[in-house]
Amino acid sequence: MLTKKQLFTRGMLDISPHMLSVIPFGIICGAIGVELGFDPYLVYAMSFIIFGGASQIVFLQLLSGGASSLVAVASVGIINSRHLLYGAVLSEYLEKLSFIKKLLISYVVVDQGFAESNKFFKKNRNEEFLHYHLIGTGCTMWVCWQISTLSGIVLGSFVPEELGLKFAIPLTFIAIVVQDLKKLDHVIVMITCGLSSLLFFDAPFKSYIIISPIIALFVAAMLLRLKK
Amino acid sequence: MTITAIIFAGILTYFTRMTMIALISRDMLGDKIKAVLEYVPSAVFPAIIFPGIFINDFGTFIEMNDPKIFGALVAIIVGYFSKNIIATISAGLVSYWFLIFVVFS
């Protein structure tokens, strides 16, 4: 049985390789906000209040492009609605926690943290303090995101644009799913999601980000039926 | 004005994170749904990966000889065999840089 501290540390270690892509992306996000002409305090407030990577850039881009606040808020909600799926998966492992703890832990659920903690949870179902792993991944992400967006806001885009570091984001997610390419059913689900996301890319409110997972999960359900 | 919108966006985002964890008990989900939820990572992350590779900053499709496609393929191969996140990201970036700075420059 691992202690709380060991699990927290394990979570930190499991997510830290992803900081290779998160930190440059955070710097870019902070810098873009200021470049678009927004008050630096507001740009930073987003990292704290929304704490949601790409959705923060979309929000500012929409507002600076003349969209209404309602459209910008709705877009953030739709982009981040994928967390509902993460929550559904994680709920099994967090069931025993008190309501207050569930409310607190929810704030730090992020893509990479969900991915790494979910992998860990599947292999270590019987650990008593499993949620400390999720706190470890989430807090690491939180601290890195605050520092990197803040440095982008203060120092500007000191990461040279020619390097195309935004490309590190798809790469970080490739690293997360690449081992599942061994399984044909997962490959089919991934390709369905990927192609749908390109097909629906121009759908309003960036809704491709939730439409394509729904289509892919529908395909997954059909595959499960075929397997039986 | 903007701060109000940020706060609403934040509350909405928090609800997407909290709803399924705090308000839904696992018993409410049947075995079939649990089995489908096993596919969540494979069903969600390609929606971040594919547009990140195939669609450029202007929202249009890239050419089929774009260096990003090569970088992504290298990352997949290195990631598959190394099982290492840093190696995967670095291999993708370095091969992408090699093409844009050395080959196509």
Does residue B3 surpass a pLDDT of 90? yes
Which residue do the tokens 């979910």 mark? A118
Do B54 and B95 lie in one domain? The reply is: yes
Q: In percent, how much of chain A has pLDDT > 90?
A: 93
Domain range for B14 is 1-29
Please indicate, yes or no, if residue B7 is contained in any of the structural domains: yes
pLDDT of B63: 87
Same domain, residue pair B51 and B25: no
Q: What is the pLDDT of residue B26?
A: 67
Residue B15 lies in a domain: yes
Number of residues assigned to chain B:
105
- What is the nearest CA distance from B65 to chain A, expressed in angstroms? 16
Q: How many domains does chain B have?
A: 2
User: Which of chain B's residues have a Cβ under 8 Å away from the Cβ of A87?
Assistant: 16-21, 24
Q: Which of A56-60, A194-198, B95-99, B101-105 has the lowest mean pLDDT?
A: B101-105
* CA dist., res. A209 & res. B1, Å (int): 27
Contact A220 B42 (CB under 8 A): yes
Any B CB within 8 A of A67 CB: no
Residue B41 has pLDDT above 90, yes or no: yes
Query: In chain A, what are the domain boundaries?
Result: 4-170, 183-228
Query: What sign does the dihedral B47-B52-B56-B61 (CA atoms) show?
Result: negative
Number of Cβ pairs < 8 A linking chain A and chain B? 268
Of the candidates A174, A198, A220, which has its C-beta nearest B36's C-beta? Answer: A220
Nearest CB to B40 within list A46, A86, A105: A86
The whole-chain average pLDDT of chain A stands at 95
> How confident is the model at residue A228, as a pLDDT?
74
The larger pLDDT score, comparing residue B58 to residue A61, is at A61
Domain co-membership, B48 together with B13: no
Residue B25 and residue B44 in one domain: no
**DSSP secondary structure string for all residues of B34-102:** HHHHTTHHHHHTHHHHHHHHHB-TTSSBPPTT-HHHHHHHHHHHHHHHH--HHHHHHHHHHHHHIIIII
Among the listed residues A48, A23, A61, the one whose alpha carbon sits nearest the alpha carbon of residue A166: A23
Q: Is residue B34 part of a domain?
A: no
**B79 in the same domain as B58:** yes
**Predicted local confidence at residue A227, as pLDDT:** 84
Residue B18 lies in a domain: yes
B30 vs A196, more confident: A196
A52: left (phi over 0), alpha (psi -120 to 50) or beta: beta
Which residue of B1, B6, B11 to mutate against A (max A Cβ within 10 Å)?
B6
The residue of A68, A91, A161, A191 whose CB has the most chain B CBs within 10 angstroms, and thus the best one to mutate to test that interface, is A91
- pLDDT at position A161: 84
How does pLDDT run across A61-103, given as a tens digit for each residue? 999 999 999 999 999 999 999 999 999 999 999 999 999 999 9
Q: Is A55 on the interface with B (CB under 8 A)?
A: yes
Hunting for tokens 């840093």 — which residue is that? B86
pLDDT digits (tens, 9 = 90+) for A145-157: 999 999 999 998 7
Residues of A in contact with B18 (CB under 8 A): 87, 102-103, 106-107
pLDDT tens digits, residue range B16-40? Answer: 999 999 988 767 788 899 999 999 9
Band (B8; pLDDT cuts 50, 70, 90)? very high
Q: Closest-CA residue in chain B for A190?
A: B42
pLDDT at A195 over 70: yes
Instruction: Please list every residue in chain B whose beta carbon sits closer than 8 Å to the beta carbon of residue A195.
Output: 50
Q: What is the mean pLDDT of residues A96-117?
A: 97
B80 shares a domain with B52: yes
CB contact under 8 A, A224 and B71: no
> How do residues B69-91 score in pLDDT, each as one tens digit?
999 999 999 999 999 999 999 99
Q: Same structural domain for residues B51 and B18?
A: no
CB contact under 8 A, B19 and A87: yes
Residues of A in contact with B52 (CB under 8 A): 166-167, 169-170, 173
Terminal CA-CA length for chain B: 46
The pLDDT of A136-163, averaged and rounded, is 93
Residues B46 and B10 in one domain: no
What value of ipTM does the predicted structure carry?
A: 0.95
Asked if A88 lies within 8 A of B37 by C-beta distance, the reply is yes
What is the average pLDDT across A170-185?
Answer: 97
Who among A54, A55, A175 is closest to B79 (CB)? A175
